[in-house]
């Protein structure tokens, strides 16, 4: 019973973590807009979420079977799973940050982060309402 | 909480861009300086940006910026024939600095745009974090 309550929250928590990770990555891209040779990177969000919720397997994942084992990020979130953006206009210094695209992705990701926050508080409120007895109003 | 790292990343970028603005300011200030007694005029300076990886382990995706080097433009300075000038050489030429004011202005606009971009990124991250803190309250 209880795990049915937390299952929805688990999914939203994974989504929120991934959104914040993507936000950080996009901030790195914007910060390096003038760095020669820097290539913009992004996470395949849909794939990363499917991996995080266990819907598909995570390639390259290492099992942490003992305390002290390090479990590095794998799959779409891992260092090798991140995707490099294709340049729409090449620049002479080898920088691959398209500021328009990065700003758009950043705004889009911020809105979706906030949407996930609202989904979480919505489901928390629903659960709390269900727990209230009818004569409490 | 990986969102806090945004402040490190964007903060490093803001600091690098302000250093670039500083260099542009000193170039523009010295745009009309003439060669000293050693015959060496002011040389235009340029900052060189480099990606700085912040954090380790699962936070290793953070790519900040730092100024790795400030390079001097080695092109010869502008020479003007003006025999009456106190700094003129034996042939009557005065050597001015090699600063190109147009390039510097373009550089300044680019730096200020990048600065603003990073400030806005920090503002967005801050408001998202504040909303996360209010999670579950009414």
| ipTM for the complex shown | 0.84
Distance CA A91, CA A93 (A): 6
Q: Who among A21, A29, A121 is closest to B136 (CB)?
A: A121
* Torsion of Cα atoms, A47 then A49 then A52 then A58, to 10°: 0
Summarize pLDDT for B56-103 with one digit per residue, the tens.
655 667 889 999 999 999 888 888 898 898 888 888 888 889 999 999
Secondary-structure percent of chain A, ordered helix, strand, coil, rounded to 5:
55, 5, 40
Give the CA angle between residues A107, A122, A6 to the nearest 5°.
105
CB B105 within 8 A of CB B18: no
The conformational region for residue A106 under phi > 0 = left, psi -120 to 50 = alpha, else beta, is alpha
CA distance to partner chain A, nearest, from residue B66 (Å):
9
Chain A residue numbers touching B20 (CB-CB < 8 A): 34
Q: Flag if A33 and B64 touch (Cβ within 8 Å).
A: no
Nearest neighbour of A120 by CB, restricted to B50, B61, B135: B135
User: Could you count the other beta carbons within 10 Å of the beta carbon of residue B2?
Assistant: 18
Judged by a CB distance cut-off of 8 A, whether residue B125 touches chain A is yes
Q: Which of chain B's residues have a Cβ under 8 Å away from the Cβ of A79? A: 60-61
Average pLDDT, chain B: 88
pLDDT digits (tens, 9 = 90+) for B38-49: 668 889 999 999
- pLDDT tens, residue by residue, A90-122: 888 888 899 999 999 999 999 999 999 999 999
In contact, B45 and B70? CB cutoff 8 Å: yes
């Amino acid at each position: 019973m209880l795990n049915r309550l937390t299952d929805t929250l688990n999914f939203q928590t994974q989504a929120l973590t991934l959104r914040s990770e993507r936000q950080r990555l996009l901030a790195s891209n914007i910060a390096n807009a003038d760095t020669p040779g820097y290539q913009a990177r992004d996470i395949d969000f849909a794939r990363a979420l499917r991996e995080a919720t266990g819907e598909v397997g995570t390639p390259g994942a290492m099992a942490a079977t003992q305390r002290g084992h390090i479990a590095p990020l794998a799959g779409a979130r891992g260092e090798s799973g991140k995707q490099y953006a294709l340049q729409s206009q090449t620049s002479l210094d080898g920088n691959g940050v398209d500021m328009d695209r990065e700003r758009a992705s950043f705004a889009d990701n911020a809105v979706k982060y906030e949407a996930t926050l609202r989904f979480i508080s919505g489901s928390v409120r629903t659960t709390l309402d269900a727990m209230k007895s009818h004569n409490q109003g | 909480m990986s969102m806090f790292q945004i402040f490190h990343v964007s903060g490093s970028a803001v600091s690098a861009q302000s250093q670039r603005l500083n260099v542009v300011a000193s170039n523009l200030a010295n745009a009309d300086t003439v060669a000293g007694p050693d015959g060496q005029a002011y040389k235009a300076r340029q900052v060189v940006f480099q990606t700085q990886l912040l954090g380790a382990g699962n936070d290793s995706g953070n790519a900040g910026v730092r100024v790795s080097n400030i390079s001097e433009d080695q092109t010869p300075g502008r020479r003007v024939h003006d025999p009456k000038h106190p700094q003129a050489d034996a042939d009557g030429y005065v050597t001015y600095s090699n600063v190109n004011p147009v390039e510097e202005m373009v550089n300044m606009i680019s730096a200020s745009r990048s600065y603003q971009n990073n400030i806005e990124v920090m503002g967005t991250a801050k408001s998202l974090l504040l909303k996360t803190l209010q999670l579950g309250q009414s």
